[in-house]
Structure 1
Amino acid sequence: MSDAIFNLDAEVRTDMGKGASRRLRREEKVPAILYGAGKEPLALTLDHNKVIQAQEFEAFYSHVLTLNIGGETVEALVKDMQRHPYKPKVTHLDFQRVDASVKVTVQVPLHFINEDKAPAIKTDGGHAEHHINEVEVSCLPGNLPEFIEVDLLNVAKGETVHLSDLTLPAGVALTELAKGEDHDLAVVTIKAAKGASADAAEGEEEATEE
């Protein structure tokens, strides 16, 4: 993946309001706002084509980006993205400044691996039912993972992987687990294929009648 995805040129925007934003979009620019780290919010514009290219990568949403603003570089996270309701256009971006010494909370995607190799699925007829596909983590910006892997290789049929079962990188914590044991959410369950339970029950009933 090119580092250019995580480096975006931005310009300070002085003309504000809905009319100005519409003009910017006609010029293939994306209005944006940069806030956080105890500094005043800064209105920006970015090249729409560069944003469209970057947002196609999953890591764009959970990676610390570098904004190049008038010769100054600012590290930031994407906190919100607004899109046109039916056109392939980004209409607004919210960036949050990051401080290397201050923890951030970010939604990070889950990558489910070995699903096609897990015996519970490959040979035992089970299937993976995904309950969640991303988790909120808290960590220093330098420890922020692009994704967290969920290994299904040794998960048996009928078993459920919970948040507490996930292997996290050093320095990374799940914000949901910090709320208490009752927040240990289910992540994925290996369930029997549909119809299997009914077939088994029917078989038992026939054996009883005999």
Structure 2
Amino acid sequence: MLTIHAKIKTKNGTKESRKLRIKNNIPAIIYGKNNIQISIILNYNDVTNMQSKNEYSEKPLKILIGKNEILVKIQKVQHHPFQKKLIHIDFIRI
């Protein structure tokens, strides 16, 4: 099972997301049934390195936020319209 390290995203909005992308990070969100949504920040290089592995989109992933582990699957990935760059990922809890 692949593991992704993440941080909690405290500020929301387009302006803050752009600042994150400039710093080589990706904004993401975790959601699911009967649970609150968690906005997170992922390292761009870590995510792009995982994309080359088959497990990335097919099997569950483990997201570590501090000492908390959350099992998720990728729900939706948004790419830049002209570049192949990732701009946002939606995860759903398992």
Q: TM-score range by the shorter chain?
A: over 0.9
List runs of 5+ in structure 2 lacking aligned partners: none
Max Rg structure: 1
Counterpart CA distance in 2 for 1:55 and 1:17 is 26
Q: Which has the higher strand share?
A: 2
Pick one of 57, 61, 64 that aligns with 1:65. Answer: 61
- TM (norm. structure 1) is 0.43
Q: Deviations over 1:142-198 (max 9, x none)?
A: xxxxxxxxxxxxxxxxxxxxxxxxxxxxxxxxxxxxxxxxxxxxxxxxxxxxxxxxx
**Residue of 4, 12, 15 corresponding to 1:8:** 4
Q: CA deviation at 1:38?
A: 1.3
- 1:38 is matched with 34
Give structure 1 regions of 4+ aligned residues with deviation exceeding 4 angstroms. none
SS of the residue corresponding to residue 90 of structure 2 reads: strand
Give the whole-Å Cα distance in 1 for the aligned partners of 2:33 and 2:5: 20
> In structure 2, what residue type is equivalent to 1:97?
R
- 1:79 and 2:90 equivalent? no
- Deviation of the 1:62 alpha carbon: 1.4
Structure 2 length-normalised TM:
0.94
The alpha carbon displacement at 1:83 in A equals 0.8
2:45 corresponds to: 49
Unaligned 5+ runs, structure 1: 99-210
DSSP-derived class of the 1:86 partner = coil
- The structure showing larger relative contact order (alpha-carbon pairs under 8 Å, at least 6 residues apart) is 2
Report percent identity of matched pairs.
29
Corresponding residue of 2:88: 92
